[in-house]
Amino acid sequence: MLEHNNRQRLLELIRVASLAFAVCCLLTSSPTFADDKAQNEQERVKEAGEALDALVNSESGIPTDLLNKSECVIILPSVKKGGFIIAGQYGKGLMTCRTGAKFDGKWSAPIMMQSSGGSVGLQAGGQAVDYVILVLNDKGARKVMNGKAKLGADASIAAGPVGRNAEAATNAAMNAEMLSYSRTAGAFAGVSLSGTSLGPDGGANEDLYGKKVTGEQIWSGEVQAPDAAKDMLATLGSKSPKNISAGKQE
């Protein structure tokens, strides 16, 4: 009986020690895991900045005039696709908007975004594509900022004209709330993302900023832009420091 009791005590001590060790490991590893997730989002911000830089600085990229009339810019870097007909694509990226009640201030800290669905035509399978979307009015900006919007239904979208000095010549482009562009293997094109769902990525925003924060809170300046966004925001500030849309400038 004594031997049995001793064995039971030993087993109980082992169980308690194992549990304490597991809790200790969890507590010590959690910050590292959180740091890894934050680093992943920092990398995504950098990739978005690089994609934007290529599109705004190329002679065959986004027209400067349209960028100057944009309330927000959405960047989805390296959206992966499979199959020959693109359908069911899924991507992550960010949105930055001009601050201020009239969207006429400096560019905001990035709001992390996610997209899903849609079909953008024929493409060789397995390629990575950068997408950039210009949001041209307050209504479209708030729709995407405050919740998941289905492009083409909740917010109108059209393929954007390419070329630094190009103009939105078609009625569809001139009347759309958003214009979208793609870059594949260095080639730029206007592409319609109608049918794609797009909205803030709450988990990614929490990982990047270290707390739960909404898209509107980020836009309004409640958090500071991460270091990874400095180059992107500098590019936008240099290329498009003012919103020249009607009614934005006094």
Token representation of residue 30: 């959690």
Domain assignment of residue 231, yes or no: yes
Question: Phi-psi region for residue 103, left (φ > 0), alpha (ψ -120 to 50) or beta?
Answer: left
Token representation of residue 138: 């307050």
Domain assignment of residue 223, yes or no: yes
Q: Which residues pair with residue 121 across a beta bridge? A: 86
Give the model's pLDDT for residue 124.
42
Angle 228-180-86 (CA atoms, 0-180°, nearest 5)? 100
Domain assignment of residue 120, yes or no: yes
The secondary element (H helix, E strand) that includes residue 199 is strand 197-200
Query: 196 and 150 in contact (C-beta within 8 Å)?
Result: yes
DSSP 205-249: HHHHHSS---HHHHHTTSSPPPGGGHHHHHHHHHH--S--STTT-
Domain assignment of residue 105, yes or no: yes
Residue for token digits 């002679």? Answer: 59
The domain in which residue 91 lies consists of 54-239
Provide φ and ψ at 197, rounded to 5°. Answer: -95, 135
The secondary element (H helix, E strand) that includes residue 113 is strand 111-116
Domain assignment of residue 247, yes or no: no
- pLDDT tens-place values along the chain, 250 residues long: 545 555 566 556 556 555 555 545 544 445 565 678 788 899 999 999 998 998 888 887 888 889 999 999 999 887 655 443 344 456 789 999 999 999 999 999 999 998 877 654 434 455 677 889 999 989 889 989 988 788 888 888 888 887 766 555 444 456 788 998 888 877 777 787 888 888 999 999 999 999 999 999 999 999 999 999 999 999 999 999 999 986 665 5
Query: 201 and 113 in contact (C-beta within 8 Å)?
Result: yes
Cα–Cα dist 164/166, whole Å:
6
Domain assignment of residue 35, yes or no: no
Q: pTM of whole model > 0.95?
A: no
Query: 147 and 111 in contact (C-beta within 8 Å)?
Result: no
Give the model's pLDDT for residue 72.
96
Give the model's pLDDT for residue 37.
79
Number of domains observed in the structure of the chain: 1
Query: 208 and 42 in contact (C-beta within 8 Å)?
Result: yes
